[in-house]
Amino acid sequence: MSTTDSAQLLADARRLIPGGVNSATRAIGRPEGFRAAQGATLVDLEGRSYVDYHCAFGATLLGHGDPRVDRAVADTFGVIDVVGLGVTELEIECARLVADLIPSVEMSITTMSGSESTFQAVRLARAVTGRPYLVKFQGCFHGWHDAVARNVISPPERAYDRDPLSAGILDEAVDATLIAEFNDLDSVAELFRRHPDQIAAVILEPVPHNVGALLPEQAFLEGLRELTTREGSLLIFDEVITGFRHAPGGYQELCGVVPDLTTYGKAMGNGHSVAGMGGRADLMSRFSSAGGDVLLAGTFNGNPQSMAAAVATMTAISDPEVGFHDHVYRLGDRMRAGLREIVDDLGIRAVVTGIGSVFVTYFMDGPVRGYRDLLRNDDTAYATFHRRMIDAGHLMYPMALKRNHITAAHTDADIDATLGAAGDVLAGMVREGLVPTVS
């Protein structure tokens, strides 16, 4: 495709689609569009190749176009498509795998996106408890719906205050969600003291990846479990990002803290549209499908193509012979160690962190425990580093606090090439005075 052709295509996109993209976070400037994706490589509209560390915000675990997943989806063609009645064998197999892998799940439902999953979890929690309020943490993102669309990457003047993500949300919906600080159990307990017997649930990303990688303290997670149990509230783990990526059973498998409800998605189908929510059977039985009073509906829930992708992905990442987690943890450790060596050698004030396949470089001094610490990050340096890495052929989302991902398709050679580029990019930023340095 010529430059002229791609320019016309983008002009058509802006004429036909608001802003030319179907999600605001896709508008990153160059590269503005893509024509191919395979393994760990993306190709833009003009034929330039990139090593992909964005991975559709982490939706791909095995790499783009994984043959195991594609074959499973293709096997449904000509056999069964959307029926919208009853149940299929693939839905049962998907639910069985979810229950086998995720410690908190006895029963589950499927949805098409993580936002739908958290919507269902919040509504169910309010129905079960009969309480109006929800607690979320500053910096955590749980989707686009009104109950949770507030206080994610807030500027300092709005952090912990009223910071809705969108116009058009009823004030009552915004105010029914209370904001706490991650890794600060006292901030949560204070909200329970202010609103006795009124909090339906506490929802959190067990690792807040929507602001990079805030690593949870074990005592904090255990304290949340004890506090919510004592107060008669539900604990919801939003494992839309951490689920399947950090362990077959999500982060709850690693930390041993079992929530009441778990949402998951994104990587569940290696990029295919599928997500879900599950938990204790007594809670899940409140859905109208089981004769309860909480509406469960959705024409495309459990459709055969999504279920085939989910079954194939979960089967692959949990197979010891595939060794998915061994591979991405090893490459993740190698990437983080290499980045630490680079910033140390260059005298850059930075914190390289992450877990497993996720890596992040904050441009600040440590420690990094919660969102208050992230207010010290040099957001301009963060975004500039990622932008220049894109220009060097390594796709990292060019916005402050956004994380990077490694998949099964990435190789040692990819990591080496990326570290080489990062060294050159960061050295140039030091020369230009664009990064904080040790004085």
Query: What would the 3-class secondary structure string for 384-439 be?
Result: HHHHHHHHCCEECCCCCCCCEECCCCCCHHHHHHHHHHHHHHHHHHHHCCCCCECC
What is the predicted pLDDT for the residue at 297? 96
Determine the Cα–Cα distance for residues 100 and 282; give it in Å rounded to an integer: 18
What is the predicted pLDDT for the residue at 357? 98
pLDDT > 90? residue 349? yes
Helix (H, G, I), strand (E, B) or coil at 59: coil
For the chain, give the percent of residues with pLDDT over 90.
Answer: 95
439 pLDDT band, cuts 50/70/90, is confident
Domain 67-317 has CATH 1.10.10.10: no
pLDDT > 90? residue 186? yes
pLDDT tens digits for 99-118? 999 999 999 999 999 999 99
Sequence-separated contacts (24+) of 288-294 with Cβ below 8 Å:
289/109, 293/127, 294/123, 294/124, 294/127
Kindly list the domain boundaries of the chain, sorted by start residue: 3-60+323-431, 67-317
pLDDT > 70? residue 302? yes
106 token code pair: 């006895």
pLDDT > 80? residue 3? no
Mean pLDDT of 247-252: 98
**Phi, psi values for residue 259, rounded to 5°:** -75, 175
* Fold agreement (3-60+323-431, 67-317): no
What is the predicted pLDDT for the residue at 6? 85
The one-letter amino acid code at 325 reads H
237 pLDDT band, cuts 50/70/90, is very high
pLDDT tens digits for 56-96? 999 999 999 999 999 999 999 999 999 999 999 999 999 99
**For residue 50, which of 400, 426, 386 has the smallest C-alpha distance?**
386
Q: What architecture is the 3-60+323-431 domain classified under in CATH?
A: Alpha-Beta Complex (3.90)
What is the predicted pLDDT for the residue at 1? 62
254 pLDDT band, cuts 50/70/90, is very high
